[in-house]
Amino acid sequence: MSESLIRNLPGMRDLLPEDIAGWQVIEDYARRIFRVYGYSEIRTPIIEPTELFARGIGGDTDIVGKEMYTFRDKSDRSVTLRPEATASVVRAYIQNSMHRGKGVAKLCYSGPMFRYEKKQSARWRQFYQIGAEALGSEHPALDAEMIEMALGLLESLGVKSKLLINSVGCRQCRPKYISFLRRALQQELSKLCEDCRRRANTNSLRVFDCKIEGCQASIGNLPVITDNLCAECSEHFSMVQTHLNNAGIVFEIVPRLVRGLDYYVRTAFEMVSDDLGSQDALVGGGRYDGLSEVLGGPPVQAIGFAVGVDRLTMVLPLEQRETGNWKPELFLAYKGEAAFNKALYIARKLRRKHCTCYLDFSEGSLKSQMRLANKIDAAHVLIIGEDELQRGRFTIKKMQDSSQWEVSLPELISYFKS
């Protein structure tokens, strides 16, 4: 009796070769754009102490409260698969004394993140982010540069998005605003959903995240943070807008934009797409000036963003996706053992010259090999039969116009070199 089939876990998926072209195009563009803005890559572990996220992201958030993959390792430590990378980057920055270097540390990363979220379209439990963090400055021009870089990535890929910005205040003005908000929420309590009633007393800002229609009406009656900023935050926010205007960047101020992580202060932003349905955020980011101290480090002002690569691939224009497609330059079709060995030899020579070669190991007929060459869209086919072997001249066929001619091995090599 055969065993039952093992499948992947819900919310996890295989990214198959036919899906991957778009991913590689995005990664290539991101690498290029990060380089021109002066970012260097950092790779942090996928598993971290649970406390890093509990403290960094905040115990009252959905991510920490409901969505983390947390378990005990063999030494009975509580460990967590990272739900995001900002906390890890800040931990690495402090631990490796990067704050002692000169100037702003500009770090970028990419990789899988894990959140045990409700299954929904455009929400996966393992998803991928590409992100950037700049640590060591509170200058509003840095906020604008960070936004410009994220937008530049989307624009270079031909992806349309809308930029939403807000200021969520600082440790001085936000507590005052939150007690004001709490009082206002008491008036609305009976009209709110169960989750929001709980949030009203624990993490009041989260009420703004609720997508339930009944709550939306009440949310409209609540005071907004932008009307309650201290003078410094107000000035900072207005300077960020000036720098964005100077860079010709169009934005919308959304005073109810709060982000799902507690570390944000001042600038918060998202880039959303009309083509994504209810999970419309492609990019999320903002300033997190107090996070280093929360993690036991020195005061460090910082800002960053992360783009959701899974979502980005969903809105990537087809022509962009196709530029990442892999196609063989040359398919080597052979008949018989000696021809097969010759094909291996020729492929080896050409690959050293960076020519993409493909040969079929299933030992099919010449006809079936030609069919396969067509199917995988090979640009040329080289036919190696007994006759060709003896003469040392091979037939090459250009698939686009079906023209064919004979070549010696040196002629073949110089053809692909050019």
Binding site for ligand HAM (CB under 6 A): 84, 86, 115, 117, 123-124, 127, 129, 131, 133, 260-261, 281-286, 288, 304-306, 308, 310-311
Residue 306's beta-bridge partner residues? 131, 284
Pick the closest to residue 58 from 174, 145, 180 (CA basis): 174
Distance CA(153)–CA(159), nearest Å, equals: 9
Place of tokens 């509170």: 138
| Shortest reach from residue 284's CB to ligand HAM, in Å | 3
| Least CB distance to ligand HAM at residue 224 (A) | 20
DSSP 3-state of 321? helix
140: left (phi over 0), alpha (psi -120 to 50) or beta: alpha
Nearest alpha carbon to residue 83 among 98, 108, 105, 66? 66
> At its nearest, how many Å lie between ligand HAM and the CB of residue 2?
34
Q: Which is nearer to ligand HAM, 181 or 257 (CB)?
A: 257
- Smallest distance, ligand HAM to C-beta of residue 121, A: 10
- Can you spell out the DSSP letters for 141-192? HHHHHHHHHHHHHHHHTT---EEEEEE---TTHHHHHHHHHHHHHHHHGGGS
Burial class of 92 by CB neighbour count within 10 A (0 to 12, 13 to 18, 19+): middle
**Which is closer to ligand HAM, CB of 132 or CB of 370?**
132
Q: Which is nearer to ligand HAM, 49 or 111 (CB)?
A: 111
How far apart, in whole angstroms, are the C-alpha atoms of residue 392 and residue 397?
Answer: 16
Angle at 95 between CA 287 and CA 113, to 5 degrees: 60
Q: Could you tell me the end-to-end alpha-carbon distance of the chain, in angstroms, rounded to an integer?
A: 57
Cβ atoms of residues 67 and 134 within 8 Å: no
- At 13, phi and psi to the nearest 5? -150, 160
Largest CA distance in the chain: 92
When the beta carbons of 244 and 291 are compared against ligand HAM, the nearer one is 291
Closest-CB residue for ligand HAM? 308
Closer residue to ligand HAM (CB): 272 or 332: 272
Least distance CB 187 / ligand HAM (angstroms): 30
Nearest approach, Cβ of residue 18 and ligand HAM (Å): 20
Residue with Cβ nearer ligand HAM (185 or 314): 314
Query: Could you identify the residue written with the tokens 């169009």?
Result: 250
Distance in Å, CB of 97 to ligand HAM, minimum: 21
Q: Which CB atom, from 143 or from 188, has the smaller least distance to ligand HAM? A: 143
Nearer to ligand HAM, 261 or 333 (CB): 261
Q: Work out how close the CB of 218 gets to ligand HAM at its nearest, in angstroms, rounded to a whole number.
A: 24
What's the half-sphere exposure (Cβ side, CA atoms, 13 Å) at 379? Answer: 9
Amino acid (1-letter code) at residue 394: F
Task: Decide if 286 contacts 269 (C-beta within 8 A).
Answer: yes
Q: Is the C-alpha dihedral spanning 104, 109, 114, 118 positive or negative?
A: positive
Q: Which is nearer to ligand HAM, 113 or 412 (CB)?
A: 113
Nearer to ligand HAM, 287 or 335 (CB): 287
Residue 391 near residue 373 (C-beta atoms within 8 A):
no
Closest distance between ligand HAM and the C-beta of residue 132, in Å?
8
